[in-house]
Amino acid sequence: MKNKISIKLIVYFSAALIVFSIIIGNIFMLLFKNNAVEIHKNELKRRALTIADTISELMDGSSLNFGPGMGRHGGMMMGMQGGLGLYIRNLDDIAMADAWIVDEELNLLITGSMSHMQYNYTDLPQDAGIVVKKVFEGQTTFSEGFSKLLETPTLTIGTPITSDGEIIGALLIHSPIQGINDAT
């Protein structure tokens, strides 16, 4: 009789312990994921603001627009001094992610890699339109999504590029969120 009671106590105590450990584990996973996203968001925002400020300073009153029919070596690229041109050519490396500069109509003005002459809207993240709209209202904004290509959650940040106090472009940085699955 005493054995049956002690066995029942051990089973019930073990079951309660397992249930509580599953609950605590899930809470930890949720908090860890949220913290990893927040840290990545803050780091991405810091980089984007620094890059946008640097581009604004290097612009020195010039425009980001390509003229009609101008390729990557025409228009703005011809007028760029070494500092801005070099900075733009290395934009992906500086941002440590995919980076684009677009106008209000989502025309790609510059991609960080500058490796191809065909600028295409499909290269942008899916929610780029919403981000760019908010950027041209003067906000720095984020968008979270899932990249089928990278098979990981991603963050897109948009921040305004200004020249003489006027927003002339939007800097978009698209980056996978690192560290979410590191502890699992």
Q: In the sheet where 152-163 sits, what is the strand order?
A: 108-111, 98-102, 166-176, 152-163, 141-147
Report whether 124 contacts 108 (CB < 8 A): yes
Is the model's pLDDT at 129 over the cut of 80?
yes
The share of the chain scoring above pLDDT 70, in percent, equals: 73
Tens of pLDDT, residue by residue over 106-117, are 887 765 555 444
Mean pLDDT along residues 143-160: 80
Q: How confident is the model at residue 141 (pLDDT cuts 50, 70, 90)?
A: very high
Report whether 101 contacts 109 (CB < 8 A): yes
Give the per-residue pLDDT at 115.
45
Q: Hey, what domains does the chain have and what are their CATH numbers?
A: 2-176 (3.30.450.20)
Tens of pLDDT, residue by residue over 1-14, are 678 899 999 999 99
Query: Which token pair is 35?
Result: 């913290």
Q: How confident is the model at residue 63 (pLDDT cuts 50, 70, 90)?
A: low
Q: Could you tell me the sign of the dihedral formed by the alpha carbons of 138, 76, 71, 68, in that order? A: positive
Give the per-residue pLDDT at 98.
84
Mean pLDDT along residues 145-157: 76
**Cα angle 138-61-106, degrees, rounded to a multiple of 5:** 45
Cα dist from 122 to 20, 87, 181, whole Å = 47, 24, 28
Give the per-residue pLDDT at 120.
53
The model scores a pTM over 0.75: no
Distance from C-alpha of 14 to C-alpha of 68, rounded to nearest angstrom: 73
Q: How confident is the model at residue 181 (pLDDT cuts 50, 70, 90)?
A: low
Q: What amino acid is encoded at 10 in this protein? A: I
